[in-house]
Amino acid sequence: DSKSGKMSVGNSETGLAVVVGAGPVGCLAALALAKEGWKVALYEGRSAQRSVNLAISSRGLAAIYAVDPPLMERIIHDAIPMKGRMLHTTDGKTESQLYDRNGQCINSIDRGLLNEFLLQEAVDFPTIDVYFRHKLVTANFDARTLTFFSEEKNQNVDICFDLCMGTDGSYSNVRRQMMRVTRMDYQQEYIPHEYVELKIPAGTDETGQPSFLLDPNHLHIWPRHSFMLIALPNKDKTFTATLFAPTCVLEPIDTTDKAAAWFSEYFPDALRLIGEKKLLNDFEKNPRGSLISIKAMPYHYKDRCIILGDAAHSMVPFYGQGLNCGLEDVRVLINIMRSEGAIHPRKRATGEDVDEPLERAFKRYSETRHEDLVAIRDLAMNNYVEMRHSVTTPSYIFRKTVDNL
């Protein structure tokens, strides 16, 4: 399952960076390090990614551009610009609220596609080796070894590394391993809401071609105070809709009749667009996700390990910034590494254990990045109330900003 079929070994000649987790942040981090001269091994526990769509804003696009300008162009090409929100009331009325007077947009993109683009770039890059179905089991940072379980070999394999980047998502094992050796403050919070994905199909236009059933250049929101439905457009003229509701609201809806009655009371137009049979089937069968918000500090251990993306700062999705922020982590870290003279891998002198510029860079990243990450995590939590409730109040229109949903 590895691109090269061989296992990587630690290599202090060139400096081996091991990136754990090939989500979008891990792929961008791998590319960024490889372009700076590191030999990179990218390890991914799964064999395939789940596909949801999400909003990518200028924050995330700028981070991709910093590492790979042509890739950003391709992503924009496959994204659909959303210039505002479209609010849907229970009686079927709609109201457009533009995000920005000058036409700035956020962009809807399939997360699977975005990940695929980034992963393909990583796979094609000559100095990146990608290993699927390798799950990090444990780490000994002081000995600079990581242990992965290889599904292919059905056994553990030990990998030596110079630098480890943990981009393994909200339930990060790299973070857990770091907690054993460093005094990391850590806080996690589940919100009462769960989410379920539904699909609004494409319609057909007069010429028989597929067409959008709703305006594709808006992010659609059906705010209903304690719960809401949102929908983002896809290139195939469908919309991916996500229902966010507290478990205590969803749990009692335990029969098809109750679900039909609930959707026709609160989302009659969405019910019509999706089609009752399909909606009820998807509502019953599609997995329900929980939503977690995570705060950690510091993000690094000495000169050898750092966590980025959801592994470092998972946030509720209501500001549409989780991934954007994770991609930005890569850009910010690489800039700091450059300015500390720590960007190029170097051969440590015999007996020298710590790479001081790298340690300085990681420390500076932890200290300076934290405030911004906490701020955006808190904004996301505030927008949790805003999107399902406050967008419906008249004063709201004067308070919105362009980068959020």
Q: Does residue 53 sit in helix, strand or coil?
A: strand
Residue 290 Cα to chain centre, angstroms: 15
| Residue 176 lies near ligand FAD (rule: CB under 6 A) | no
Decide whether 195 or 266 has the Cβ nearer to ligand FAD.
195
Closer to ligand FAD by Cβ: residue 155 or 207 = 155
Report in angstroms how near the CB of residue 168 gets to ligand FAD at its nearest: 4
Number of residues counted as binding ligand FAD (CB under 6 A): 31
Q: Give min distance, CB of 287 to ligand FAD, in A.
A: 11
Q: Binding to ligand FAD by residue 303, rule CB under 6 A?
A: no
Can residue 24 be called a binding residue for ligand FAD (CB under 6 A)? Answer: yes
Residues 6+ apart with CB under 8 A from 119: 22, 27, 130
CB of 208 to ligand FAD, least distance (A): 32
**How many other β-carbons are positioned within 10 Å of the β-carbon of residue 373?**
21
Residue closer to ligand FAD (CB basis): 24 or 345: 24
Shortest Å distance, C-beta 261 to ligand FAD:
25
253 phi, psi to nearest 5 deg = -85, 75
Q: Does 54 bind ligand FAD (CB under 6 A)?
A: yes
Rounded distance, CA 255 to CA 2, Å? 46
Q: How far is the CB of 166 from ligand FAD (least distance, A)?
A: 9
Give phi and psi for 161, each to the nearest 5.
-145, 160
Contacts with 9 (C-beta within 8 Å, 6 or more apart), sequence order: 16, 159, 160
**Minimum CB distance to ligand FAD smaller for 36 or for 310:** 310
Half-sphere CA count of 199, side-chain side, radius 13 A: 16
223 contacts ligand FAD (rule: CB under 6 A): no
Closest CA to 124 of 42, 190, 58, 66: 42
Q: Is 26 in the site for ligand FAD (CB under 6 A)?
A: yes
Binding site for ligand FAD (CB under 6 A): 20-26, 43-46, 54-55, 135-136, 167-169, 173, 195, 242, 289, 309-310, 317, 320-324, 326
